[in-house]
Amino acid sequence: MPTHDLVIVANRLPVDARTLPDGATEWVTSPGGLVTAMESVMRTVDSGAWVGWHGTPGQAPEPFAADGMHLYPVPLSEQEVSRYYEGFSNGTLWPLYHDVIVDPEFHRTWWDAYVRANRRFAQAAVSATAPGGTIWVHDYQLQLVPELIRSARPDVRIGFFNHIPFPPVELFSQLPKRNQVLRGLLGADLVGFQRESDAMNFVAAVRHLLGYQVDQYTVTVPGIGSEPARQVTARSFPISIDTAAVSALTEDPALQERAAELRRELGEPAKIVLGVDRLDYTKGIRHRLKAWGELLDDGSIDPHDTVMIQVATPSRERVDAYRQLRDEVELTVGRINGDHAPIGRPAVSYQHRSFDRRDMTALYMASDVCLVTALRDGMNLVAKEYVASRPDLRGVLVLSEFAGAADELRAAILVNPHDIDELKAAILQALNMPEEEQEQAMLSLRRQVLDHDVQAWARAFLAELESVGAPGGGTPAP
């Protein structure tokens, strides 16, 4: 008997398996903004659940509880991981939705696996949800899930949030099965996006490709047969971070000491410049390194007193484009260091591994400049984390206008990362910014980030879902 009032559906459960010395499995909650946000909204309902893949191919473990949440693992076979997740999700949709920075690949076997996997997630959500409950589906891997749920359970409210950009219709139109994807999303009562432009792109695609009536951000989905028409709302809800958690860390004296120690370990440079990204071609790491290399070549930066730290967290290592990117980045870092690093100190300190949250915050606290140069990014949480880590009001954020965060963080130095000269100038401007100016900009950035945390984001989405989604078939069209 389904019992949960609020069910989250995401590709991954918020836990990782760890094998204990005696061979038993322990589940460790994976830290992250989404988990924190969901924990906070789950506390407001009688019973909350999360449906998702547990991270290893093969059979799924039985449902279990972790941190007050009921977790329902969805099984994926080795072939489904390769075709649904690495294939259609990360080899087709990810590049297409990020402005075709690399060529998307289309394979019908990938699509078939995507449909199969989406059905399984939808089925698990349907079984877990109480009558009249709410289901919140997350991200591009699960775009068919809203419609699949609606056809089985017209009694529930369905929300969908897309964490990545939604492309302009000219690009979206390239997607084979594009109409199935749109219809899948339109199963929701509320479709949320990071930026207003994403919501606009979505409704434009619905109008152009399906011919449905659109009034600003409201789509009227015609009923089939005797079914009444329904309305679906598209809106932007810019995601944020758990600012209270970051603030608490910055007040920890051990972390303040760690930040000072990091500077000492790097030889007390006058300036530290930081980049933190998943190693992904959307993040503009190559553009950033090109600009950095040229600034060293032309003598604008002295590697004896300025260091760049680039954290590049391993990501999607079985997808070809990611392997190639890693090779290129590592070749470039090697060249820059070979050409410029003083003995015993790097010009670029390249870190291809994960750091824990505390070390990450210490890095933000130790850095004078943070470079976010994404070529396209839904939001970019690193930009917000850097700002939240600077209660001292020092530090400068250089932010790509192609990251969703640029809509809100107007006091950053905004750049077009494709323009290497502009990027170089922005880096120099950041390195030379007087303290007073840094304080002014940081104050304004912090106001924005501290006033809009991830808990508020989740509450706003669910409140809107409650107001637009009428259980019993969605909002009927007037």
Residues forming contacts to ligand GDG in the complex (CB under 6 A) are 163-164, 239, 276, 278, 311, 313, 354-357, 360, 377-382, 385
Instruction: Name the residue among 354, 323, 443 with its Cα closest to residue 392.
Output: 443
Tokens of 251: 């007040």
* Residue 190 vs 221, nearer CB to ligand GDG: 190
Distance of CA 217 to the CA centre of its chain: 23
Q: Per-residue DSSP letters for 140-165?
A: GGGTTHHHHHHHH-TTSEEEEE-SS-
* Residue 97 vs 212, nearer CB to ligand GDG: 97
Instruction: Name the residue among 463, 474, 470 with its Cα closest to residue 151.
Output: 474
Among candidate residues 280, 377, 452, 453, the one labeled active-site is 377
Min dist CB 153 to ligand GDG, Å, is: 26
Name 166's Cβ contacts closer than 8 Å, sequence gap at least 6.
Answer: 97, 172, 193, 198, 199, 201, 202, 205
* Residue 108 vs 357, nearer CB to ligand GDG: 357
Tell me, yes or no, if 304 is annotated catalytic: no
User: Which H or E run contains 348?
Assistant: strand 348-351
* Residue 164 vs 171, nearer CB to ligand GDG: 164
Residue with tokens 């070390």: 359
Amino acid sitting at position 41: V
Min dist CB 50 to ligand GDG, Å, is: 16
Min dist CB 79 to ligand GDG, Å, is: 25
Tokens of 111: 């699509």
Min dist CB 207 to ligand GDG, Å, is: 26
* Residue 117 vs 312, nearer CB to ligand GDG: 312
What is the per-residue burial (b if ≥16 Cβ within 10 Å, else e) of 207-239?
eebbebebeebbbbbeeeeeeebbbbbbbbbbb
Tell me, yes or no, if 163 is annotated catalytic: yes
**Mutual angle of helices 243-250 and 253-265, in 10-degree steps:** 70
Task: Evaluate whether 269 touches 263 at the Cβ level (below 8 Å).
Answer: yes
Task: Evaluate whether 97 touches 164 at the Cβ level (below 8 Å).
Answer: yes
How many angstroms separate the first and last alpha carbons of the chain?
A: 35
* Residue 179 vs 354, nearer CB to ligand GDG: 354
Min dist CB 146 to ligand GDG, Å, is: 18
Min dist CB 193 to ligand GDG, Å, is: 10
Task: Evaluate whether 280 touches 164 at the Cβ level (below 8 Å).
Answer: no
Diameter over CA atoms, the chain:
77
Min dist CB 70 to ligand GDG, Å, is: 23
d(CA 141, CA 444): 35
* Residue 380 vs 455, nearer CB to ligand GDG: 380
Give the CA angle between residues 201, 202, 206 to the nearest 5°: 115
Task: Evaluate whether 104 touches 147 at the Cβ level (below 8 Å).
Answer: no
Q: Phi and psi at residue 10, in whole multiples of 5°?
A: -140, 160
d(CA 367, CA 431): 11
Among candidate residues 16, 99, 155, 163, the one labeled active-site is 163
Show which residues are catalytic: 163, 377
